[in-house]
A and B are shown apart, each in its own frame.
Chain A
Amino acid sequence: QQQVKQSPQSLIVQKGGISIINCAYENTAFDYFPWYQQFPGKGPALLIAIRPDVSEKKEGRFTISFNKSAKQFSLHIMDSQPGDSATYFCAASYQGAQKLVFGQGTRLTINP
């Protein structure tokens, strides 16, 4: 119930391509879905987040697509750049519980 499942585990994309990372959840009480970016030796940093009352949110090259009925959400990185190479985590939380439940992470490599 508390799990967030993330795929793929690793992803290699050519520069300029689209990177897509998927997450699925079970707990319908979740109402906040952030994506975090983590570089080696650093802590996670909030990238973009969405609430289930919208189906899509875009910030620059980053877009979250949300499918409430399927209990799935995904991160799209357009025009992927080598600087985007990092580990990406999806997460979820719900009102009344302040903790974030994280997915397992996706190691993204953008080849120049």
Chain B
Amino acid sequence: NAGVMQNPRHLVRRRGQEARLRCSPMKGHSHVYWYRQLPEEGLKFMVYLQKENIIDESGMPKERFSAEFPKEGPSILRIQQVVRGDSAAYFCASSPRPRVDSNQPQHFGDGTRLSIL
């Protein structure tokens, strides 16, 4: 009964490099959400995707950040030209349907800890 799988668990990049974070949703889930968690803070919504479509990217920085969820394969969060402020834990969640409630909650992965040197 595999949950939401994120990899890598830890990622170290130097300033200016690219970071690629992967998320495989739970089986049967076609809705994916990305959140960012800064140290000692709550999770902040970034983007919501369905297969091949970005539905809501209101929380995503306009520059350097992009996300995709192709027909085949995991969802990818890409950060180009990383800066120190990008250091955070990035969490992916998935759900079977778009409506979030107790019967179909968002299930979270264990996150990718991104460190920028």
Chain A interface (Cβ < 8 Å from any Cβ of B): 6, 32, 34, 36, 41-46, 49, 51, 89, 93, 95, 97-105
Contact between chains at B56 and A98 (CB < 8 Å): yes
Given known A-B contacts A95-B99, A97-B56, A98-B100, A45 and B108 have beta carbons under 8 A apart = yes
Contact between chains at A44 and B33 (CB < 8 Å): no
Chain B interface (Cβ < 8 Å from any Cβ of A): 4, 31, 33, 35, 40-45, 48, 55-56, 58-59, 91, 93, 95, 98-102, 105-111
Contact between chains at A43 and B31 (CB < 8 Å): no
Report the bound CA distance from A32 to B95 in whole Å: 15
Given known A-B contacts A95-B99, A98-B31, A99-B33, A44 and B45 have beta carbons under 8 A apart = no
Contact between chains at A43 and B48 (CB < 8 Å): no
Contact between chains at B42 and A104 (CB < 8 Å): yes
Q: Which of A46, A89, A98, A102 contacts B99 (CB 8 A)?
A: A98
Report the bound CA distance from A98 to B104 in whole Å: 11
A95, A98, A103: residue with the most chain B Cβ atoms closer than 10 Å: A98
- Minimum C-beta distance from A111 to chain B (A): 21
Report the bound CA distance from A79 to B43 in whole Å: 28
**B101: A residues at CB distance < 8 A:** 32, 49, 51
**B40: A residues at CB distance < 8 A:** 105
Contact between chains at B59 and A43 (CB < 8 Å): no
Q: Which of B55, B56, B102, B111 contacts A43 (CB 8 A)?
A: B111
Given known A-B contacts A44-B43, A89-B43, A93-B100, A99 and B48 have beta carbons under 8 A apart = yes
Contact between chains at B43 and A102 (CB < 8 Å): yes
9 nearest A-B residue pairs (beta carbon): A43-B108, A102-B42, A99-B45, A49-B102, A102-B43, A46-B105, A43-B110, A104-B42, A44-B108
Contact between chains at B105 and A34 (CB < 8 Å): yes
- Extra A-B contacts (14), CB below 8 Å, given A32-B101, A46-B102, A95-B99: A34-B102, A41-B110, A42-B110, A42-B111, A43-B91, A45-B108, A89-B43, A97-B56, A98-B95, A99-B48, A101-B45, A102-B43, A102-B44, A104-B41
Contact between chains at A89 and B110 (CB < 8 Å): no
